[in-house]
Structure 1
Amino acid sequence: MSYDPLDHDFERGMRNRRSVLGDQWVDRSVANATNFNADFQNLITRFAWNEIWGRPGLDHKTRRIIVLAITIALGRWEEFELHVRAGLTADAATRLTPDEMKEVMIQAAVYAGVPAGNTAFTHAQKILREVGEQIGYTVAAQAPSDSMHPGIGRAGRSSASPALHYTLREPRNGKAPRHTVVLSHALGTDLMMWDGLANRLAADCRVIAYDHRGHGSSEKLEGLYSMADLADDAARLLRELDSGPVVWVGLSMGGMVGQELALRHPALVRALVLANTTSAYPEAARAAWQQRIATVRAEGIEAIADAVMGRYFHEDFRATQAATVARYRHRLVTTDAVAYVGCCHAVGTVDTADRVGAIRVPTLVIAGELDQGTPVAMARALADAISEARLEVIAGASHISAVEQPQAFDALVTAFIDGL
């Protein structure tokens, strides 16, 4: 029979305690233990730090966030300050950045009350001023009016006509952007289709998303548009924003605009992602686009909405993601009919097939396995015509592949950008 003199629960708890709070604080706490509170110190080490913090279901960083939120809600400011200080200066596995800390307090303010959130910011900012030099963070003056939602970015409108609504996300890491990425949406949608990808790319890239003319909050113009018109719109926006050469990510109509932009304004394009798009339609498809224009003019967009959803999303997706389809349908039917007709003309008459060979930038062509509007054969022809292009096909995706298969789409785009 053997007997281990170590209390395993206590030793494991102390190991977790040191990992989360740091040796300096734990050493001081242990040194201050007395015959009056030693039993309590032993209890919390075994119970809180082993029984709870030792469970593998959540990592220590997540558990720290939970503690911060609870201590804000309960007003336990001494414990809150302990975890703020430790969280800002801990090892990488459990550390919270100042921005992550800020997000915890903003969310807690909604659920626990603004006064609690206000007090939390006061305590946390005091500690940030103390440890800022150690962690490379400076608390500096900033007007509240200059603040923006990091999941949306700074919104604006271009000055030239048509005025284009756009959002601009700067890199969240606070460093110079690795690339400037432009996200260009499909016909009958708007820049919100890119929110998920935009926020992922904005970790270290500058990200511009915009509404095409007559879509979303952008200005419409009367008449039928050409793809050159839409590309020139984009060029004016990028020059106004002083973007430099960009990585252009366009889906469907957005991919057509990207081709034309690279041909008409090559100095503005660093690389292309052309998703669910084509360089030209056969005569039958061109006639179908003219029929769509005639129907919208006669009966409005509602008359074509269900058919468009049937082409945008495959049957299984429509059955299992009805709310998402309904959201895109609502966006479609609230698009200005004149502008929609104008863009339909641009899409239906797209013809860069004889010119795309002049594109000399790295290009990723993405196709949806189930896409009926721009089938894989069209994507393959586009990729074959561009010397630095490669084709990727997303399984289980139809026309709006970025919505139907967002993880696969985002993985292809981020890997492509990482390789530039």
Structure 2
Amino acid sequence: MSFDPIDHDFERGLNNRRAILGDAWVDRSLGNANSFNAEFQNLITRFAWNEVWGRPGLEQKTRRAMVLSTTIALGRWEEFDLHVRAALLGEASNRLSPDELKEVLIQSAIYAGVPAANTAFTHAMVILRELGPQIGYVLEPMAPAGAAHPAAGRESRSAGQPSLHYTVREPRNGKAPRHTVVLSHALGCDLTMWDALAGQLAADCRVIAYDHRGHGSSDAPQGLYSMADLADDAAALLRELDSGPVVWIGVSMGGMTGQELAIRHPALVRALVLSNTTSRYPEAAREAWRQRIATVREQGIEAIADAVMGRYFHDGFRSTHAATVARFRRRVVTTGVQGYIGCCNAVGTIDTTARLGGIAAPVLVIAGEQDQGTPPDMARTLADALPEAQLLVLQEASHLASIEQPRAFEQAVRSFMAAL
């Protein structure tokens, strides 16, 4: 029987150690080994770097973050500094960006304590200044009061009348935005319905989300509104923000607003995603909208809330996502009656079909297979009337398809935008 002189556990651990910490550090560590610590070096190489780091259950990048969090919690700053440098200079497959490192430190503030995170930020900034030229990163001055939560964006109100509540998410990659995207919500909702999609698109796009008049924190003028009013509101906001041509993504009322915006203010629209929407309702449906206005005026929004949820979400979704449905129901019933009625009139009287031929921008029309409010036939009519449109029908989706099928919706939007 032959004897293999290679200790494979040690060699595998050494390979992992080099991949995570880099050859220079490992060579220096091994070169400094002596009769006192050689056994310890052997131990940690076999057990830490092979038995643990060699396991396939977590990506190496995830393990990096765990080590950083643990060294912060334990105050092991020498190890922390070592792993920060290694993380910033690591192989592409397991490297942490400065922004990802920042997220680890912020997370640690909650679970390991603010003092520990404060020290970690101090150590990390020393290393970032040292490695900045090597990794292409510059620490820029920034006032804390001007910092915004990257998932929610900078919040403000427009100067015009009505004043609209809006958020702006700048591209997280720090580069010029690939597109400026505007997210426009459905009747009885607000800008938070887009939080998940906005966070994804803000990786490399500037993302604007806003509350329609009469919704959320926006003003609610007296009277019945028209779709032209909603489109002009949006145009005023975009001009105030100096947005340039935008990719407009609107669901239901938001999609109707996008149509009118592209007709009335074509220079502001680069492309349109029109989801679960229509260009005109038949007379029977228009009468139903007039009846809804009358019911809300006499009995309040609570009287129609359950019926609205039945149209927004199909039976299967309501049975498995009760908390999500409850959240949207709560948003509907807390919408001001004046704003809700005003926008009901704008939605019920939408009439753009004969004018859609004037929209030159590319359009993606998305329908929900089970949508009763704006069924796929309405989407086909819309797509057929647009000069440059494609139609996608999402399965297992009703009226709020972006909520019921978020991954399919995002994938459709990304594919569409990639071709612009």
CA drift of 1:290 comes to 0.4
Provide the residue aligned with 2:11 in structure 1.
11
1:120 aligns with 2:120: yes
- How many angstroms apart in 2 are the aligned matches of 1:212 and 1:274? 16
- How many angstroms apart in 2 are the aligned matches of 1:293 and 1:165? 24
Alignment of 1:348-367 (within 5 A): 348-367=348-367
Provide the residue aligned with 2:415 in structure 1.
415
Provide the residue aligned with 1:193 in structure 2.
193
CA drift of 1:214 comes to 1.0
CA drift of 1:13 comes to 0.1
1:45 aligns with 2:45: yes
Look up the SS of the partner of 1:365 in the other structure.
Answer: strand
Look up the SS of the partner of 2:353 in the other structure.
Answer: coil
CA drift of 1:358 comes to 1.1
CA drift of 1:70 comes to 0.7
- How many angstroms apart in 1 are the aligned matches of 2:197 and 2:373? 23
Provide the residue aligned with 1:393 in structure 2.
393
Look up the SS of the partner of 1:174 in the other structure.
Answer: coil
Q: Deviations over 1:214-257 (max 9, x none)?
A: 11111110000000000000000000000000000000000000
Q: Which one-letter code corresponds to 2:404 in the other structure?
A: E
Q: Deviations over 1:306-356 (max 9, x none)?
A: 000000000111111000000000000000100100000000000001111
Alignment of 1:79-118 (within 5 A): 79-118=79-118
- How many angstroms apart in 1 are the aligned matches of 2:141 and 2:176? 21
Look up the SS of the partner of 1:355 in the other structure.
Answer: helix
Provide the residue aligned with 1:154 in structure 2.
154
Q: Deviations over 1:179-222 (max 9, x none)?
A: 10000000000000101110111111110000000111111100
1:280 aligns with 2:297: no
- How many angstroms apart in 2 are the aligned matches of 1:305 and 1:314? 15
1:262 aligns with 2:289: no
Look up the SS of the partner of 1:161 in the other structure.
Answer: coil
Provide the residue aligned with 2:319 in structure 1.
319
CA drift of 1:145 comes to 0.7
List structure 1 segments (4+ residues) > 4 angstroms apart after TM superposition.
none
Q: Deviations over 1:354-398 (max 9, x none)?
A: 111111111000000000000000001100111110000100000
Provide the residue aligned with 1:345 in structure 2.
345
CA drift of 1:143 comes to 1.1
CA drift of 1:272 comes to 0.3
CA drift of 1:94 comes to 1.1
Q: Which one-letter code corresponds to 2:190 in the other structure?
A: D
CA drift of 1:2 comes to 3.3
- How many angstroms apart in 1 are the aligned matches of 2:262 and 2:334? 31
Provide the residue aligned with 1:29 in structure 2.
29
Q: Deviations over 1:54-77 (max 9, x none)?
A: 001101100000000111111111
CA drift of 1:140 comes to 2.3
Provide the residue aligned with 2:66 in structure 1.
66
Q: Deviations over 1:77-103 (max 9, x none)?
A: 111111101101111111111110000
Alignment of 1:235-274 (within 5 A): 235-274=235-274
- How many angstroms apart in 1 are the aligned matches of 2:123 and 2:21? 17
Unaligned runs of 5+ in 1: none
- How many angstroms apart in 2 are the aligned matches of 1:142 and 1:317? 44
- How many angstroms apart in 2 are the aligned matches of 1:201 and 1:5? 54
Unaligned runs of 5+ in 2: none
Provide the residue aligned with 1:170 in structure 2.
170
Q: State the percentage of identical aligned residues.
A: 72
